[in-house]
Structure 1
Amino acid sequence: MDIVLYQFLTEVPLAAAIWSVLLLLALTVLAVLVARPERDHPPAVAPPAGPAAPTAPAAADLRRYADEVAVAAAGAAQNARRRRAAWTAAQDAAERAWQAYDEAETAARRFRDAGALPTPHTPRTPTEYAARERWLHHAATAAHLRGELSIGQLCDVFARRGGWDPRRHPVEQEVVLARAVRDGRLARYRAAAVRERAAWDDAELAAAAARALAAEAYAAAERVRPAHPSATTATASRRARKALGWPHPRPSAPAPAR
């Protein structure tokens, strides 16, 4: 009887302690599961976030940059218009120079054909040579006043340089004078053609710069528009779109020199 009582008193507390530990462990596991339910229910996948809106300082910097580029694009477009106007004026000047040369070439051809006829015979006296010289000086001065002879060519006439001989008959002098006028106008046309080509190159470079700045201004305005639309940004965008449509000049080929 004593042995049975002894075993009961020693084994029952041990079993109670074991059951207490197991119960405590079960309660701990249950508390963890209750505190973290996402282990049984995985979280839903969040949709991808869109582009973050710029902060206030960043938006101010974008607006300031867009305004500066818009001003630069407007200035470049104005410069391109000036260059285009200068090229148009140079092209008109080249066309007028060509027309003047064409008229002089026609006159020189007519005098050349008339020169095939025999020269009128006149007595070769000092009085005749003096009259021929006076005629040449008068004709050359009149041509200079009409803009047909340069001051250098007129000086050559009076100095008897460059093939000018006052002893020739006025019929021959007319042929020489017509050729001089034609050659002078041809030289002026060639110089005008060179200026026209240079003006065209300048206009092309200015137009390319204007288009590049306009594209950058348009892009800058579009970057600012979603976050902070403003009247300044809209104006910059309109200016940029207008400059992007800058017309490309089409030069007409100058007439070839004869």
Structure 2
Amino acid sequence: METALHSFLVSVPQAAALWLLMLVGVIAAAMLLARTRQPARPAPLTEAEADALRYAGEVAVAADRAALTAERRRAEWTAAQEELDAAWRAYDEADRMAREVAKACAYPLMSRRRKPGENIERQRYLHHAATEACRQRQLSIAQLNDVFAHRGWNPRLHPVVQEAALRQAVRENRLAGYRAAQERERLTWHEAEAAAEALRSLRIEAAAAATTTRVDAGQPVADERWWADQWTTAELPAAA
């Protein structure tokens, strides 16, 4: 009995030491595993890497601004196209009216002695018709001044002849308006194309700068062309 008790008392400290040693080993292993799982702190950027990162950000901001400019230029071009279509419809209508009124002048007018004051009435009719046409923006201010100054206009002509001359003047004004709208549409198209090309260049440059920055940082990157394809160009006008 005493021998068994003695053996038990001797083995208890050894077992405790063994369990303590195992516990210390488990704690050490846990600490080592936790340390290995902690993300490594990134190394401080060099001056060149900081410059590359700053440049990539500046190019990205410039690309965003260029996108807004390209969108605005495209809207201006679309508005110019609509204005051009409206100018053509106005000219087509003026041309049709001028040809219809010209048909009435194909028949000779009866020659008779004019009543007293008839020339004044004809002049008043011409001035009134020209003023009304100018109010409706069918005639320009310069054309209206020519009518009142009788430059190229004969106020004594029959109202039918005067109406034909007015319709021809309206057609000339509409044609000038169409040509001006055509020139504006051409200029806005070139501006939209220039803005779109600038946006394409900046987006490619921004993609290249982002790729370079990721390479310098040691991060995996995809092909540079893939980066460029991520920039949508749906808002850009198509090349003509």
Q: TM-score of the superposition, structure 1-length normalised?
A: 0.68
Write out per-residue CA displacement over residues 130-182 of structure 1, whole angstroms, 9 at most, x where no aligned residue.
11111111111110111101111111111100x21000000100100000000
**Alignment map for 1:184-199 (pairs within 5 Å):** 184-199=173-188
Counterpart in the other structure of 2:147: 157
Change (3 A) 1:54 1:194: farther
Q: Give the distance between the partners of 1:229 and 1:155, measured in 2 at CA.
A: 76
C-alpha deviation, 1:55, in angstroms? 5.5
- Residue identity matched to 1:158: F
Q: Give the distance between the partners of 1:99 and 1:229, measured in 2 at CA.
A: 62
C-alpha deviation, 1:119, in angstroms? 2.0
| 1:201 lines up with 2:190 in the alignment | yes
C-alpha deviation, 1:241, in angstroms? 3.1
Which of 95, 105, 111 is matched with 2:101 structurally? 111
**Alignment map for 1:12-161 (pairs within 5 Å):** 56-161=46-151
Which of 201, 210, 213 is matched with 1:212 structurally? 201
Decide whether the 8 Å contact of 2:139 with 2:170 is kept in 1: yes
Change (3 A) 1:170 1:245: closer
Q: Give the distance between the partners of 2:135 and 2:218, measured in 1 at CA.
A: 65
Which of 216, 220, 230 is matched with 1:241 structurally? 230
Question: Which ranges in structure 2 are unaligned for 5 or more consecutive residues?
Answer: 1-42, 220-225
| Aligned-CA RMSD value | 2.6
Counterpart in the other structure of 1:183: 172
Q: TM-score of the superposition, structure 2-length normalised?
A: 0.72
Equivalent pairs, count: 192
- Residue identity matched to 1:216: E
Q: Give the distance between the partners of 2:162 and 2:200, measured in 1 at CA.
A: 57
Question: Which ranges in structure 1 are unaligned for 5 or more consecutive residues?
Answer: 1-52, 231-236, 252-258
C-alpha deviation, 1:128, in angstroms? 1.0
C-alpha deviation, 1:84, in angstroms? 1.1
- Residue identity matched to 1:142: E
